[in-house]
């Protein structure tokens, strides 16, 4: 028997036997090893995405694992291969796909949201979504490849260049990853974050972090840049104040990269956009080249994935893990160990 963690209704997860299946043409069966819980998973858990997510739904798209079986018409993969999954399935026919932007397909199936995800012990996915992992890369660290690919895409969209001054507003997992990827690209980086725990982690990773509750961030940026302002700001906080800060720190022709999902429209200082000829860039998801670069960054230690993992818990303890992440500040990334089902609880409501 294999198990799956399912979202059944707002703030309710259960652990249930998974329905056996076999990979069809072009598909593979995976044994997920580790699955990360991300902010989108929390939004689903809160019931905020019920219009999109059909319960009961197996969540999870940040993962690592191994191939168990391959279906007909699959080449290049065999049982035992270490993999992660780029969880996107597009139609290849909409205007976005025809323009070469399949990752923002207008009918995108985001696997783990729109279709069953990785929080289960066996998982059937298209072989086209597989991304190979180096054999020497520990699978727990490899579970952070997907959020690292997000950061790689964001830094690419903002066109961060060597020597530029970059401000990351929001020091959660994705914000820290953006800061690390931008630093690897040669930028000088500052992180703006309210949580003392997250600021401490950023500083332990060699980043400079500021608390916006204690300091005047735009004034510090003015001093840091010799009155020029930042070249790039990333808004990763999802808060109205974060938007204001990201706009206010930018210098002439600065670029604001919007990463966070804002659930409602925000007021934006458009006069500053006019006065300084600023650019606003949206960044969503990733493509295969972003994923492959993310694998390399995690594998060579540029991304110290082990430092970002706060806890690893058995798959069946998913409800408690979701509850811990709701606390926010003292937790970065919790992984579910799909190979460990030592707690045989069958359901929980948080």
Task: Assess contact for 292 and 131: CB atoms under 8 A.
Answer: yes
Q: Give the integer Cα–Cα distance in Å for 2 and 120.
A: 7
Given 2, 43, 197, 262, the catalytic residue: 43
Among the listed residues 4, 104, 112, the one whose alpha carbon sits nearest the alpha carbon of residue 60 = 112
Displacement of CA 260 from its chain's centroid (Å): 11
Q: Give the integer Cα–Cα distance in Å for 278 and 251.
A: 8
Given 2, 40, 222, 302, the catalytic residue: 40
Q: Give the integer Cα–Cα distance in Å for 242 and 306.
A: 28
Measured in degrees and rounded to the nearest 5, phi and psi for residue 222 equal -60, -45
Burial class of residue 266 (count of CB atoms within 10 Å of its CB; 0-12, 13-18, 19+)? middle
208 is catalytic: no
101 is catalytic: no
Residue 88: beta bridge partners? 110
Task: Assess contact for 169 and 233: CB atoms under 8 A.
Answer: yes
Q: What is the CA radius of gyration of the chain?
A: 20
Half-sphere exposure of 115 (CA within 13 A, CB side): 13
Residues that are catalytic: 40, 43
């Amino acid at each position: 028997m294999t198990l799956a963690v399912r979202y059944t209704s707002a703030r309710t997860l259960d652990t249930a036997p998974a329905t056996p299946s076999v990979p069809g043409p072009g598909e593979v069966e995976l044994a997920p090893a580790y699955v990360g819980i991300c902010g989108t998973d929390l939004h689903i858990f809160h019931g905020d995405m019920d219009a999109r997510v059909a319960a009961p739904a197996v969540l999870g798209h940040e993962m690592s694992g191994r191939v168990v079986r391959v279906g007909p018409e699959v080449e290049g993969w065999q049982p035992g291969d270490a993999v992660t999954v780029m969880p996107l399935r597009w139609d290849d026919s909409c205007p976005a796909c025809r323009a070469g932007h399949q990752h923002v397909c207008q009918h995108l199936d985001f696997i783990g949201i729109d279709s069953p995800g990785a929080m289960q012990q066996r998982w059937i996915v298209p072989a086209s979504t597989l991304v190979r992992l180096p054999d020497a890369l520990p699978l727990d660290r490899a579970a952070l490849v997907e959020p690292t690919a997000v950061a790689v895409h964001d830094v690419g969209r903002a066109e961060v260049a060597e020597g530029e001054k970059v401000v990351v507003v929001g020091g959660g997992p994705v914000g820290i990853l953006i800061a690390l990827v931008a630093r690897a690209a040669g930028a000088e980086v500052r992180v703006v974050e309210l949580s003392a725990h997250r600021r401490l982690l950023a500083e332990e990773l060699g980043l400079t972090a500021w608390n916006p509750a204690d300091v005047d961030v735009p004034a510090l940026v003015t001093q840091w840049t010799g009155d020029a302002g930042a070249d790039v700001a990333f808004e990763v906080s999802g808060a109205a104040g974060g938007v204001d800060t990201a706009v206010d720190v930018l210098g002439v022709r600065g670029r604001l990269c919007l990463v966070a999902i804002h659930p409602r429209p925000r007021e934006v200082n458009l006069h500053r956009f006019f006065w300084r000829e600023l650019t606003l860039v949206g960044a969503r998801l990733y493509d295969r080249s972003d994923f492959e670069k993310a694998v390399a960054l995690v594998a060579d230690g540029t991304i110290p994935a082990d430092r970002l993992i706060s806890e690893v818990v058995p798959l069946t303890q998913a409800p408690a893990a979701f509850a811990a992440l709701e606390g926010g500040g003292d937790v970065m990334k919790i992984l579910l160990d799909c190979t460990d089902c030592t707690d045989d609880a069958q359901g929980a409501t948080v």
